[in-house]
Amino acid sequence: MIEARAVEASVDHPARVARWTMRMTILLASFVHAHYVGFHAYGVGVVVSGVLELVSTTARRRRTLAALLAYVLLCSWILLGFGVVSGFWNHAMKLLVAALHGGAVPAALAGLFKVPGVGSVALEVGGCLTFVSAWFAARAVWRHVAALWALRRSTPVLGEATRGEAA
């Protein structure tokens, strides 16, 4: 029992770091998307953060493979969509291409990006920071999932028989 509490306590720190970095990624993505679609992007960010919190809490409390898989899929969607596609490709790579071609994206490459022109400094820096934040969030989520997996394997879920007991 003491070992189970120690394992459960070891989940707290990775959970806090994962939540904080994921929220930061969502906030930065909301800032960038607010430039395109307006203030409603912040509302969507709040909803996505709430769903993430719900799924994270469910994965920790239920300790089922389905709940853990739902958490991993949601985090992957956020990190790949906001971090890689939006942050890295549509902002960091676009800035690199523009820098290599005299400050503007060439017409031949403009179709590769969602918005071909270079935006304001705040928009492009926000996009690049979304990618950086997603990188840190991916590392934190990896550690959180590893801790949840260890917790899942070390303690029985309520209603399940332990290995030494009859069902």
Q: Could you give the number of structural domains in the chain?
A: 1
Higher-confidence residue of 109 and 27: namely 27
Residues 107-124 have a mean pLDDT of 78
Rounded to 5°, angle at Cα 65 from 64 and 69: 120
The answer as to whether 167 is a domain residue is no
The reply to whether 122 falls in a domain is yes
Is 142 part of any domain? yes
Please enumerate in sequence order all residues whose Cβ is within 8 A of that of 68, keeping only pairs 6 or more positions apart, or say none: 59, 145, 148, 149, 152
Domain annotation covers residue 166: no
Q: What pTM value is reported for the model?
A: 0.77
Find the domain containing 20 and state its range: 2-154
Report pLDDT for 97: 81
What local confidence, expressed as pLDDT, does residue 30 receive?
93
Q: Could you tell me what percent of the chain has a pLDDT over 70?
A: 84
165 part of a folded domain: no
Residue 164 is assigned to a structural domain of this protein: no
The radius of gyration computed from the CA coordinates of the chain, to the nearest angstrom, equals 20
Residue 13 inside a domain? The answer is yes
Query: Is residue 163, in this structure, part of any structural domain at all?
Result: no
